Amino acid sequence: MGSEENQKLNAREAWELDYQKASIRDDNFETMSGVPVDPVYGDDLFPGQYPYTRGIYPSMYRSRLWTMRMFAGFGTAEDTNLRFKELLRNGGTGLSTAFDMPTLMGRDSDSEWALGEVGRAGVAVDTLADMEDLFAEIDLSTVSTSMTINGPAATLLAMYVAVAEQNGVSPNQLAGTIQNDILKEYQAQKEYIYPPRPSMRIITDMVKYTTAEMPKWHPISISGYHIREAGSTAAQELAFTLANGFSYVEAAIAAGQNVNEFGKRLSFFFNSHSDFFEEIGKFRAARRIWARWMKERYGATDEKAMLCRFHTQTAGVSLTAQQPEINIARVGIQALAAALGGTQSLHTDSFDEALALPTEDAARIALRTQQIVAHETGVVNVADPLGGSPYVEWMTDEMERQAEAIFAHLDDLGNGSILEGTFNGIENGYFVGEIADAAYRFEREVNSGRRIIVGVNEFTDGDNPENRNLLRIGAETEEYQLKRLNDVKSKRNQEHVNEALSEITAVANDPTRNLMPAIIDAVKTYATEEEIANAMEVVFGTYVEKAIV
Amino acid sequence: MGDYQQRVILAKLGLDGHDRGIKVVARILRDAGMEVIYLGLRQTAASIVAAAEEEDADAIGLSMHNAGHLTLGPKMASALSDAGMDIPLIIGGIVPDEDVEELMSAGIAAVLGPGASAEEVVATVQDAISARDEA
Amino acid sequence: MTSSSDSSKELFERAVKGERRSLGRLLTSIERGGNEAEIIAGLAHQVSGNTHVVGITGAPGSGKSTLTGRLLKLFSEAGEKLAVLAVDPSSPLTGGAILGDRIRMDDLAGEESFIRSMATRGHSGGLALAVPAAIQLFDAAGYEPVIIETVGVGQVEVDVAGAADTTVVVVTPGMGDAVQANKAGLLEVADIFVVNKSDRPGANDARRDLELMLDLGHVSGLEQITGYRPPIIMANSLDGTGAEEVLGAIKSHAEYLHNSGTIHNRQKERLVKEIQNRIELLIGLTADGVLKSELGNRHITQVLDRKISPAEAAKSIVRLLLKD
């Protein structure tokens, strides 16, 4: 009894020491009515303490609010550059880039596959010239940039490094994240180029390169977002995402990397859906599981390598095309769950996204929504304000229990390796099958009316389809981009391009060499994204998903 | 007519990889007693025409989420008519209401927007097939 | 149907000339069964008997579709114009089906090849008639070889695959897959065994199990009669390991069939089986009709009145029918 009492005192004392070391924002930290509040309540476990269920920092949002990172990208690089500058002016603190489908798939704008998709769902990047336009007049040494790209991630990272160099910014000054989470592509998002194993080799090369050259860069953002969007449950999102994380850790360890080094630079990306407490339980469980596995299974000793830092985006799939303006309320509730779950950064969806790409007005409202959560609700004053609630603690435990059952299955599939279990689960359709089952179950519930979606199967009055102002990307984007690509191709030194591409193929053939330097050299010759992808494809082959519906 | 096993091809045309909706639709149609020939991702107009010939499909469903429907939808419709194939083409996914008319005039038989119920999905496919059969 | 204007004969002539759409339409008629299907099968039968039929079967998840894809590629690269009939089960509840095998084959098959997905459609009699008719149709249209891929779960699927000239049975390591396959009757119809996913632990055990079963004569009773022992090939359909060997084994088996003359037995067995299936179907249909007729009613009344037994009634009806 006495020693237990002591431990509790010690936990609080330890937290107090940590808290005092933290720099705290200049704010009153009192309620709207003037009642002062403590930085945290409870007496068992404190934020910033292993296993970090209550948050990864002792002071949480008292030190720093989450980064309001709004995903943007459409049309040409110049169009997106304007949107970036607008977001920075409006108080956004990080850039997040959406690429168009051809770019995401390693195809150039003049590929026959690109027809109709150039600049539609994101910005088109074919060569370094487009990247130069995309970040024109933005100081890359001060912003943090997130790039959502996976299959051809190495090429886009190389372009970013090259643009920075042109502006006198060295790789070690660059802060940001590249999604680069290929495993979830096979499971959910389906934007892969090569088969899983060669893809892991590219990622391992990127981890090695960034660990050595780009200390402020997060080389993988392990993403559950797309798994959830594809229809998984909250627990599946949690489990598949963390299992993918374990897989990258196992691959990096196998490649001789130090778990304490690269572990610090892994980050996560989760979905915040509409079931409020389930989401909060999921976020809390994610931190606890990750810390335990990093410490106990992978032998991390540096606490920073045990922290599950994550970005959150509200659930695009929850947005309805009917009465789209009510999506603003959904996004607000989901944003609140992310804040209560302790996220490090947040993208709030625009209400019109079920219909088309967001208009500028809708994107502004979405940013304002999270600003309301941050500045008006008071939830940022107290770390993990729901911790200790019997329901929230139970939900956290339940999410963990379900996730552990899935890890056990994968461990079994891989004979003691989560990485092999994940490869096997991709190969035998386990992930896509589970996700499709969950998606279908949800649809049946909605369809039978057992699950109410406001505006869709209940409360449907008031929809006004005539009165919608949607963002349209015209054909001129495609024409412009094709012309731009042609210009770049006609001006570059073709001999340099060919040499650089042959070098990539040579390095791809030699697993002991790192692909990154060769790719950086190639982008500087204005080799196109597709040319670089093809230079590796001849060695690595392509991937076709098996039909599991 | 109409009392025969209907065979429907489902495919994603182009690079768009969003396949949650098309997989749900595959199950909805199966559960309505249809045979679904699932072609999956990254199909071209030519590969869909070839599959439709070999499978003697009664209808083709395309799922589109990348705002490419006004380019790819008509392209698919004309590929079918160039091949002399009279098979109803149905587009589902994120298609704004105001684009529906343009798609219909380009030869698309029906458009299923976001949030269509299972009954609407099945009825739309069946109606498109009957309209073709009666023509 | 728009096809009503085209007679099956016209479609058949076009299909034989290489028009794929006509072939597609004929396959639909064959699947639907009935008179049209009989006419088409009859036309095809007259000019068939040339192609080599390869059956590929295995448990769900054994990787047989991927292996089929690999074989397609090899056959296509060798310039063969082949046809694939990919058979998958229908939902017993709704009669619908999701047929997804093309995905693993499309990119691998050459332009000339023809892939058709077929659902089992619940009634086994239908499949047992439709598959041989489809084979004859592909044969008539000049496809060589014809590959039938089925999930080796039910008796009908096993029969369908087993009716091929060369039957390839795919098993995977672990969980006593070979033993399971044996229970399903799959091993008895095998001319070639493939242990897929040979990189997995237990692959060698699976091979040993199969060798043992062959040694004990538990499977493929052929060996005792003919001296042909089914080869066991270790493969990994993901990276293509073993696919060439499977192709080689199919060719060797075809040679063996031709050199030993066994091919005629196989073809005869297949046709006899088809006749038997058709007799059963006809008798079944006749039985349905008779029971609703005056003759049937008379017998039913006598059975209900306990004057004769059901067995006596059946014998009496069959005797009367056969007199016609």
Q: How confident is the model at residue C5 (pLDDT cuts 50, 70, 90)?
A: very low
Q: In the complex, which subunits touch C with 3 or more CB pairs below 8 angstroms?
A: A, B
**Interacting residues of A439 by C-beta distance below 8 A, sequence separation 6+:** A230, A231, A232, B20, B23, B24
Q: What is the pLDDT of residues A363-416, one digit of tens each?
A: 899 999 999 999 999 999 999 999 999 999 999 999 999 999 999 999 999 999
A1 shares contact with chain C (CB less than 8 Å): no
User: Which tops the pLDDT comparison, A250 or C216?
Assistant: A250
For an interface test with B, give the residue of A104, A226, A549 to mutate (most B CBs within 10 A): A549
The fraction of chain C above a pLDDT of 90, given in percent, is 43
Exposure class string for C207-233: b at 16+ Cβ within 10 A, else e: bebbeebbeeeebbebeeeeebebbbb
A315: which 2 tokens? 């659930």
The whole-chain average pLDDT of chain C stands at 85
- Sign, CA dihedral B78-B81-B83-B88, equals positive
Output DSSP code: residue A459: -
The whole-chain average pLDDT of chain B stands at 92
With an 8 Å Cβ cutoff, the interface of chain C facing chain B consists of: 1-2, 20-21, 23-25, 27-28, 31-32, 90-91, 93-100, 102-103, 106, 114-117, 119, 121
Q: Which amino acid is at A294?
A: M
Residue A40 forms part of a structural domain: no
Give C151's contacts in chain A (Cβ within 8 Å).
Answer: none
Q: What is the pLDDT of residues A232-242, one digit of tens each?
A: 999 999 999 99
Among all residues of chain A, which has the CA nearest to that of B98? A466
Residue C205 has pLDDT above 60, yes or no: yes
- Among residues C244, C259, C182, the alpha carbon closest in space to that of C214 is found at C182
Q: What is the mean pLDDT of the segment spanning A32-53?
A: 96
Give A320's contacts in chain B (Cβ within 8 Å).
Answer: 114-115
- Cα gap A510→A267, rounded to integer Å: 29
Supply the pLDDT for residue B85.
95
Exposure class string for A408-443: b at 16+ Cβ within 10 A, else e: ebbbebbeebbbbbbbbbbbbbbbbebbbbbbbebb
Residue A131 has pLDDT above 80, yes or no: yes
* Summary count for chain B: helices (H), strands (E): 5, 5
Whether C299 and C230 map to the same domain: the answer is no
Supply the pLDDT for residue A96.
86
Where do the domains of chain B lie? Answer: 7-134
CB–CB contact A113 B15 (8 Å)? yes
Question: How many domains would you assign to chain C?
Answer: 2
Q: What is the mean pLDDT of the segment spanning B95-105?
A: 90
CATH class of B7-134: alpha beta
Q: How confident is the model at residue A7 (pLDDT cuts 50, 70, 90)?
A: low
Give B7's contacts in chain C (Cβ within 8 Å).
Answer: 28
Q: What is the mean pLDDT of the segment spanning C29-51?
A: 91
CB–CB contact C98 B53 (8 Å)? no
Residue A515 forms part of a structural domain: no
CB–CB contact C100 A544 (8 Å)? no
**Interacting residues of A475 by C-beta distance below 8 A, sequence separation 6+:** none
Among all residues of chain B, which has the CA nearest to that of C94? B33
Q: What is the pLDDT of residues A467-481, one digit of tens each?
A: 777 777 677 888 999
Supply the pLDDT for residue A46.
96
Whether C110 and C165 map to the same domain: the answer is yes
Q: What is the mean pLDDT of the segment spanning A291-296?
A: 98
How distant is the Cα of C69 from the closest Cα of chain B, in angstroms?
15
CB–CB contact B27 A229 (8 Å)? no
CB–CB contact C91 B132 (8 Å)? no
3-state SS class at A267: strand
Domain region containing A130: 60-415
3-state SS class at A121: coil
Give A544's contacts in chain C (Cβ within 8 Å).
Answer: 103-104, 107
A207: which 2 tokens? 């981890």
User: Which tops the pLDDT comparison, C49 or C186?
Assistant: C49
Residue-wise DSSP of B71-114: HHHHHHHHHHHHTT----EEEEES--HHHHHHHHHTT--EEE-T
Phi, psi values for residue A174, rounded to 5°:
-80, 130
Supply the pLDDT for residue A464.
83
Q: What is the mean pLDDT of the segment spanning C95-118?
A: 87
Residue A504 forms part of a structural domain: no
A350: which 2 tokens? 């625009």
Supply the pLDDT for residue A449.
92
Domain region containing C310: 277-323
**Interacting residues of A397 by C-beta distance below 8 A, sequence separation 6+:** A285
Least confident piece of the model among A130-139, A161-170, C74-83, C118-127: C118-127
Among all residues of chain B, which has the CA nearest to that of A547? B40
Residue A317 forms part of a structural domain: yes
**Interacting residues of A526 by C-beta distance below 8 A, sequence separation 6+:** A127, A128, A129, A488, A489, A491, A492, A497
- Residue among C98, C103, C107 minimizing CB distance to A546: C103
- Cα gap A276→A271, rounded to integer Å: 12
Residue A81 has pLDDT above 50, yes or no: yes
* CATH number for position C116: 3.40.50.300
| Mutual angle of helices C294-304 and C310-323, in 10-degree steps | 160
For an interface test with A, give the residue of C67, C102, C104 to mutate (most A CBs within 10 A): C104
Whether C243 and C303 map to the same domain: the answer is no
- Residue among C98, C101, C103 minimizing CB distance to A544: C103
Q: From the CB of residue A494, how many other CB atoms can be counted at a distance below 10 Å? A: 12
Q: In the complex, which subunits touch A with 3 or more CB pairs below 8 angstroms?
A: B, C
Whether C72 and C149 map to the same domain: the answer is yes
Residue B2 has pLDDT above 70, yes or no: no
Question: Residue written as tokens 């489902």?
Answer: B10
Give C65's contacts in chain A (Cβ within 8 Å).
Answer: 546
Q: How confident is the model at residue C60 (pLDDT cuts 50, 70, 90)?
A: confident
Give A121's contacts in chain B (Cβ within 8 Å).
Answer: 66-67
Supply the pLDDT for residue B1.
36
- Among residues A89, A149, A69, A95, the alpha carbon closest in space to that of A335 is found at A69
Output DSSP code: residue C2: G
Q: How confident is the model at residue A2 (pLDDT cuts 50, 70, 90)?
A: very low
Beta bridge partners of C58: C151, C170
Residue A49 forms part of a structural domain: no
Rg (CA), chain B: 13
A447: which 2 tokens? 């369809």
Q: What is the pLDDT of residues A168-185, one digit of tens each?
A: 999 999 999 999 999 999
Residue A88 forms part of a structural domain: yes
* CATH number for position A373: 3.20.20.240
Residue C99 forms part of a structural domain: yes
Whether C221 and C310 map to the same domain: the answer is no
Q: How confident is the model at residue C178 (pLDDT cuts 50, 70, 90)?
A: low
For an interface test with A, give the residue of B8, B9, B13, B20 to mutate (most A CBs within 10 A): B20
Whether C158 and C295 map to the same domain: the answer is no
C10: which 2 tokens? 């016209």
Whether C254 and C289 map to the same domain: the answer is no
User: Which tops the pLDDT comparison, C240 or A296?
Assistant: A296
Cα–Cα separations (whole angstroms), residue C40 to C35, C44, C53: 9, 6, 19
- Residue among C27, C100, C103 minimizing CB distance to B56: C27
- Residue among A322, A355, A473 minimizing CB distance to B96: A355
Q: What is the pLDDT of residues C235-272, one digit of tens each?
A: 987 778 899 999 999 999 999 999 988 888 888 888 89
Question: Residue written as tokens 């229809």?
Answer: A231
Q: What is the pLDDT of residues C284-311, one digit of tens each?
A: 888 888 889 998 999 999 999 999 999 9
CB–CB contact C104 A544 (8 Å)? yes
Supply the pLDDT for residue A417.
97
In what helix (H) or strand (E) does residue A237 lie, and over which residues does it extend? helix A234-254
Supply the pLDDT for residue A289.
98
- Among residues B20, B18, C167, B23, the alpha carbon closest in space to that of B10 is found at B23
Whether C161 and C201 map to the same domain: the answer is yes
Residue C151 forms part of a structural domain: yes
In what helix (H) or strand (E) does residue A218 lie, and over which residues does it extend? strand A217-218
Residue A270 forms part of a structural domain: yes
- Sign, CA dihedral A58-A64-A66-A72, equals negative
Output DSSP code: residue A122: S
A467 shares contact with chain C (CB less than 8 Å): no
Residue A260, Cβ density class (10 Å: 0-12 exposed, 13-18 middle, ≥19 buried): middle
Q: What is the mean pLDDT of the segment spanning A300-321?
A: 96
Contact C120, C157 (CB under 8 A): yes
A348: which 2 tokens? 């709030």
Whether C287 and C162 map to the same domain: the answer is no
Question: How many domains would you assign to chain A?
Answer: 1
Whether C239 and C141 map to the same domain: the answer is yes
Residue B55 has pLDDT above 90, yes or no: yes
Q: What is the mean pLDDT of the segment spanning C98-123?
A: 85
Residue C99 has pLDDT above 90, yes or no: yes
Give the dihedral of Cα atoms B127, B132, B135, C2; nearest 10 deg: -140
For an interface test with B, give the residue of C11, C106, C117 to mutate (most B CBs within 10 A): C117
Residue A403 forms part of a structural domain: yes
**Interacting residues of B84 by C-beta distance below 8 A, sequence separation 6+:** none
